[in-house]
């Protein structure tokens, strides 16, 4: 059996191993030398000149990293909260995402942007949003949304080795989660979903922290005779639509669960793709579970009302079975 480590430790190990294996890998961002949440802890001791504290200027951070990537380095940027990725939207979406295409493949952009996503800490608006759906629109970006320590380490190592820009979302509530992670070197393939739980009645596609809530909903509904199949896409770009459609051939019903807002969300894109390519597989309309289109409340009590939970997932599964 593999050893058990936390999500934070998995991220930290991936960074250390890739920095040891490739001297072109550098880490930069706000307070990465101190590491307030632990992902970059200890890197300064081993790689002093390659762990760079930056000013509080997200656009400048990403812009600098793009130049480093063009020059042959492999920068790993830390944007402290995913809300702040909007401050670097031009650099990410217009520059990093499209320069390889614009130069006919002559310029590679091996850039990773890591960021903390989601609510649950009661930090209020501008520190609690899930922004991953915003980056599904620009072409040229890869998007990782790992829900386990195993996937966090494997996807991050693969992202650092990739010649394309990758947005890497780490959910706050997953940081302390433990899981099996092998000591030997490995990567997790982008565009390959994981079937977390097999079932026959309803396919549930869940993103990041919603995976565990979907499992809890499945266990509760299982006692009522309703069998959910839970799928973790692991990456949103590329998206493993084939695994979702294969599941729908069996269940005929789809629920998509995300913490981000339903309006223009990940679920909307997945639902559209399913309808375009697998409409005949559906025995009921697709149901999406997500947050309302309002700012995230700062009050912990109100935040819990805002965030999707087990009850909403159960209600959605029951709805598609009516």
Last residue of a domain, one of 128, 151, 180: 180
Q: Domain containing 105 — which CATH number?
A: 3.40.50.970
Q: How confident is the model at residue 25 (pLDDT cuts 50, 70, 90)?
A: very high
Q: Does some domain include residue 185?
A: no
Strands 4-6 and 178-180: antiparallel
Separation CA 174–CA 146 (nearest Å): 9
Q: How confident is the model at residue 1 (pLDDT cuts 50, 70, 90)?
A: low
Going by the DSSP 8-state scheme, the letter that residue 312 receives in this structure is: H
Q: How confident is the model at residue 125 (pLDDT cuts 50, 70, 90)?
A: confident
| Residue 127 bears catalytic tag | yes
Distances 227 to 231, 246, 251, 281 between C-alpha atoms, Å: 13, 16, 9, 18
Where does the chain have alpha helices with state H? 7-21, 43-46, 58-70, 89, 99-102, 149-161, 210-222, 241-251, 266-278, 300-306, 310-320
**pLDDT per position as a tens digit, 200-258:** 999 999 999 999 999 999 999 999 999 999 999 999 999 999 999 999 999 999 999 99
Q: How confident is the model at residue 162 (pLDDT cuts 50, 70, 90)?
A: very high
Q: Judge if 24 and 160 occupy the same domain.
A: yes
Q: Domain containing 243 — which CATH number?
A: 3.40.50.920
Distances 260 to 75, 189, 210 between C-alpha atoms, Å: 27, 24, 10
Q: Does some domain include residue 34?
A: yes
**pLDDT per position as a tens digit, 293-313:** 999 999 999 999 999 999 999
pLDDT over threshold 90, residue 2 = no
Confidence (pTM)? 0.96
Separation CA 140–CA 94 (nearest Å): 10
Q: Judge if 114 and 252 occupy the same domain.
A: no
- What's the pLDDT score for residue 248? 98
Cis bond upstream, residue 238 (ω within 30): yes
Q: Judge if 202 and 103 occupy the same domain.
A: no
Can you tell me the mean pLDDT for 170-192?
97
Can you tell me the mean pLDDT for 59-69?
98
109: tokens are 């952009």
Can you tell me the mean pLDDT for 60-80?
98
Can you tell me the mean pLDDT for 45-51?
95
Q: Judge if 135 and 243 occupy the same domain.
A: no
Separation CA 260–CA 131 (nearest Å): 7
Q: Judge if 112 and 202 occupy the same domain.
A: no
Going by the DSSP 8-state scheme, the letter that residue 2 receives in this structure is: P
Can you tell me the mean pLDDT for 139-155?
98
Q: Judge if 168 and 206 occupy the same domain.
A: no
Segments forming the whole domain that contains residue 147: 4-180
Please tell me the total count of domains within the chain. 2
In the chain, what percentage of residues exceed pLDDT 70? 100
**Of these residues, 23, 127, 137, 171, which one is catalytic?**
127
Distances 67 to 54, 74, 96, 145, 320 between C-alpha atoms, Å: 15, 10, 9, 25, 49
**Cα within 13 Å of Cα(143), Cβ side:** 26
């Amino acid at each position: 059996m593999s050893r058990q480590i936390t999500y934070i430790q998995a991220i930290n190990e991936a960074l250390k191993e890739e920095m040891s294996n490739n001297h072109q890998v550098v880490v930069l961002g706000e307070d990465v030398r101190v590491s307030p949440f632990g992902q970059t802890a200890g890197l300064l001791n081993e790689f002093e000149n390659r762990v760079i504290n930056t000013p509080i200027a997200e656009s400048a951070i990403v812009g600098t990293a793009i130049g480093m990537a063009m020059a042959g380095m492999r920068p790993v940027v830390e944007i402290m909260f995913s809300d702040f990725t909007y401050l670097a939207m031009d650099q990410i979406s217009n520059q990093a995402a499209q320069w390889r295409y614009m130069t006919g493949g002559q310029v590679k952009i091996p850039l990773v942007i890591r960021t903390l996503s989601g609510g649950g800490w009661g930090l209020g608006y501008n520190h609690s949003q899930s922004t991953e759906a915003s980056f599904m629109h620009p072409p040229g970006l890869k998007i990782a949304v790992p829900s386990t320590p195993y996937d966090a380490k494997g996807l991050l190592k693969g992202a650092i080795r990739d010649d394309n820009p990758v947005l890497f979302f780490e959910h706050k509530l997953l940081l302390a989660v433990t899981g099996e992670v092998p000591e030997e070197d490995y990567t997790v393939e982008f565009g390959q979903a994981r079937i977390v739980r097999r079932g026959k009645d309803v396919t549930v596609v869940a993103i990041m922290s919603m995976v565990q809530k979907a499992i809890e909903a499945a266990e509760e509904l299982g006692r009522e005779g309703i069998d959910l199949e839970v799928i973790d896409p692991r990456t949103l770009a590329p998206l493993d639509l084939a695994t979702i459609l294969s599941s729908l051939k069996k269940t005929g019903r789809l629920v998509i669960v995300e913490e981000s807002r339903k309006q223009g969300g990940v679920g909307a894109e997945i639902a559209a793709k399913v309808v375009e390519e697998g409409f005949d597989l559906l025995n009921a309309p697709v149901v999406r579970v997500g947050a309302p289109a309002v700012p995230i409340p700062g009050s912990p009590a109100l935040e819990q009302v805002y965030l999707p939970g087990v009850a909403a997932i159960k209600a959605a599964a029951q709805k598609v079975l009516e």
